[in-house]
Structure 1
Amino acid sequence: MSQQTVGILHPGSMGAAVAACAAANAARVLWCTEGRSPASAARAEQFGLEPVATLPELLDQADTVISLCPPAAAEDLAAEVASHGFGGWYVDANAISPERMRRIEEMLSSHAKAVVDGGVIGSPPVNGKSPLLVLSGPAPAVARVEALFVDTAVRTKTLGTTIGQASALKLAYASFQKTSRVLVALSIGLARAHDVDQELLDIASQRTDSYLAEPEYVAKTAARAWRWGPEMEEVADTLEAVGLPSEMLRAAATTLARWDDAKDGELTLTDALTRLAQP
C-alpha cells in the first residue's frame, strides 16, 4: 500500500468514485466538508472518504491533492490551494484548456513539489465502468499518481512530461463525444416538432453505433449539461488557440445552457426536449 494521504477536491459523482479507487492504495483519502452540500456528504460517506472540517486542515494532512470539479471552478480552486502554500503534489484532473492548466501550474509552482495535468475519459468508476485517467507532467510525480490506481477500476495512461497534453487529449475526445449527443437532441427535437420523430428513430436504428438510435441519451445529456456546457467552452478556447474554428463548440455550449436548471435530475425524453425548445 502507498503511504500517500490523498485529498479530493471535491467529491462529486466522478471525484468521489475516483477517490474511492485511490483509497485502495493510499493510507488515507480526505475530503473537506466546509461549504459542501448534503449530496456531497452522502457521496463521500458512501465511498468511505474521511472528512476534515476545512481546506487548510486537508492541505496540512494531504501529500497529494486531486482536483475534480466543474471546469469553471478549476482555477479559483487552485488559487485557493496556492494561497495556503500547499507543498505537496497537485493533480488537476478537470476538463480545462491546456492554457488554463499551465496557469494553474504557474500559480502552484512556488510551493508545490509538482503539478500533474490529468483528464478523466469515461464514466465514473462504478457498476463495472473503468474510466481512463490520462496524465502528463514530471515523470516522478506522474508515477506517484499512477501508483494510487494500480489494480483499481481507474486505468491510467502517461502521455509525456509536458503540462497541457492530458488536458488537450481530454478535450479532443470530449469535443466529439459530447457535441454528438447535443446534435442528437437537436435532431430528435426537430423531428418531433414535425411529428416524424419515430420515423427518424426507425431510420437511425438501421445503422450501427449511432447515438441517434438511442434517444435515452438526450435526457442524460440534459442532466449533465451544467458540467458539459463549460467543458465545451474550454474546447472552443483550445480550438481557437491553435487556429481552428470554434463556432460549433460555442453553439453546443449555448444549447446545453438551456438545460442548466436540470442539474443531475431525472428527466424523461419529453421533459428534456420541452426544455430545449424554451430559451
Structure 2
Amino acid sequence: MGAALGSALKPAAGAVIWAAAGRSNATSKRAELADLVGVPDLASLAQRSDVIVSICPPHAAVEVAEQVAEALGDRPDRPVYVDANAVSPDTVRRVGTVLGAEHVVDGAVIGPPAWEAGHTVLLLSGAAAGAVAGLLRGSPFEARVLGTELGTASALKACYAMQSKAMPAVWLAVAAAARGYGVQDALGDLLARDGVDLTAVLDKLEAQAGPKAWRWVGEMEEAADTVAAVGVPDGFSRSAAEMYRRMAQERGTGS
C-alpha cells in the first residue's frame, strides 16, 4: 500500500522518499518499482518532507508518530502528517496530540493498493484534508474529504471493516466449533442445502486473510475500540481479532 500511495503522489510531489532502514528486500523492491527514493532513516525523511504518510501495522501507529516527532525536533515548518493506518478515532487523536492536531490528517484506505482507478478510496479528515486530497487528484486513489475533525475517517473505516473483516470471521468460528465436535462434514451437508459451500467459503477467506491475518488482529482490536467508544457492543470485533490471531499462529506468521 505504501508503494502504491507513493506512486500516486509522485505527479504532484515530484519526488517521494521513504525510510529504508530495516525494511525487507521485498519492500525495497516494491519501492524501487514505484520509483521512490530511499533515505537512510526516519530522521532524514522527517527533515526533508513536506507531507509524511504513515502506513504501518495498527499497533505501531502511535510509536511511529512519536519517532517522527522526535526526528522533527525544532523544525519550524512542520510537515503535514497523514496517518493512513487502520486505527480507532482515539488512536488518531493521540497521534494528533503527539504531532499537533493542526498538522495531522486522518486517513483510511478502503480497497487494495491502487495502481488503476476505480478500486480504492482514501478517506480523509482533518484541517489539511483538502490539501492532501488535492495532491491525489487524478491518481488511482479516489480521495474523499469527510470534514475537518480527526477521527472521522478512521471511524468510517472501522465501521466498514466490521462487515468486511469481522463478519467473515464468523465462518472461522463456525468451522472451528464444528471441527471440535467432529461435525464439520455434517455441517457442510446442511449448509449445502441452503446453497452455502462451506469449503469454498473457508478457502476464499484463507486466500484473502491468511497472509495478512496477523495485521487484521490489530485492525479488529481498533475497530472494537471504535464501536465501544459510542456504546456499541465490541464483542464482534474482539472475537474476529481472536480468530485471525489463531489463523496467524497456525500459519506461523506475525508482526
Q: How many residues align?
A: 245
More helix by share: 2
TM superposition shift of 1:200: 5.4
Aligned ranges for residues 215-254 of structure 1 at < 5 Å? 215-219=202-206, 220-254=208-242
**Aligned partner (choices 137, 149, 173) of residue 150 of structure 1:** 137
Q: Is the 8 A contact 1:204 1:213 kept in 2?
A: no
Match of 1:71 in 2: 58
Q: Is the 8 A contact 2:54 2:83 kept in 1?
A: yes
Q: Distance in 2 between matches of 1:212 and 1:23?
A: 43
Q: Is the 8 A contact 2:109 2:121 kept in 1?
A: yes
Residue 80 of structure 2 is aligned to residue 89 of structure 1: yes
Change (3 A) 1:203 1:38: farther
TM superposition shift of 1:203: 4.1
1:107 alignment partner AA = V
Aligned ranges for residues 201-212 of structure 1 at < 5 Å? 202-203=192-193, 205=195
Match of 1:116 in 2: 105
Q: Distance in 2 between matches of 1:59 and 1:211?
A: 48
TM-score, with structure 2 as normaliser: 0.86
Q: Distance in 2 between matches of 1:224 and 1:129?
A: 23
1:202 alignment partner AA = A
TM superposition shift of 1:199: 2.9
Q: Distance in 1 between matches of 2:203 and 2:228?
A: 32
Match of 1:196 in 2: 186
Residue 126 of structure 2 is aligned to residue 104 of structure 1: no
TM superposition shift of 1:71: 0.2
Q: Distance in 1 between matches of 2:242 and 2:143?
A: 32
TM-score, with structure 1 as normaliser: 0.79
Q: Distance in 2 between matches of 1:120 and 1:94?
A: 8
Residue by residue over 1:238-261, the C-alpha shift from the partner in whole angstroms, topping out at 9 and shown as x without a partner, is 222112211221111111111224
Match of 1:183 in 2: 170
TM superposition shift of 1:204: 5.3
Residue by residue over 1:56-99, the C-alpha shift from the partner in whole angstroms, topping out at 9 and shown as x without a partner, is 11112110000111000000000000112262110001111111
Change (3 A) 1:211 1:244: farther
Change (3 A) 1:200 1:28: farther
Residue by residue over 1:145-183, the C-alpha shift from the partner in whole angstroms, topping out at 9 and shown as x without a partner, is 112211121101111111110110010110111012211
Q: Which moved more, 1:182-191 or 1:92-101?
A: 182-191
Q: Distance in 2 between matches of 1:199 and 1:92?
A: 46
TM superposition shift of 1:136: 0.5
1:25 alignment partner AA = A
Q: Distance in 1 between matches of 2:110 and 2:20?
A: 27
Match of 1:3 in 2: none
Q: Distance in 2 between matches of 1:30 and 1:254?
A: 36
Q: Is the 8 A contact 2:96 2:102 kept in 1?
A: no
Q: Secondary structure at the match of 1:245?
A: coil
Runs of 5+ unmatched residues, structure 2: none
Q: Which moved more, 1:46-55 or 1:158-167?
A: 46-55
Match of 1:49 in 2: 36
Runs of 5+ unmatched residues, structure 1: 1-13, 266-279
Q: Is the 8 A contact 2:89 2:155 kept in 1?
A: yes
Give the RMSD, CA atoms, in angstroms: 2.5
Q: Is the 8 A contact 1:118 1:166 kept in 2?
A: yes
**Aligned partner (choices 122, 126, 147) of residue 133 of structure 1:** 122
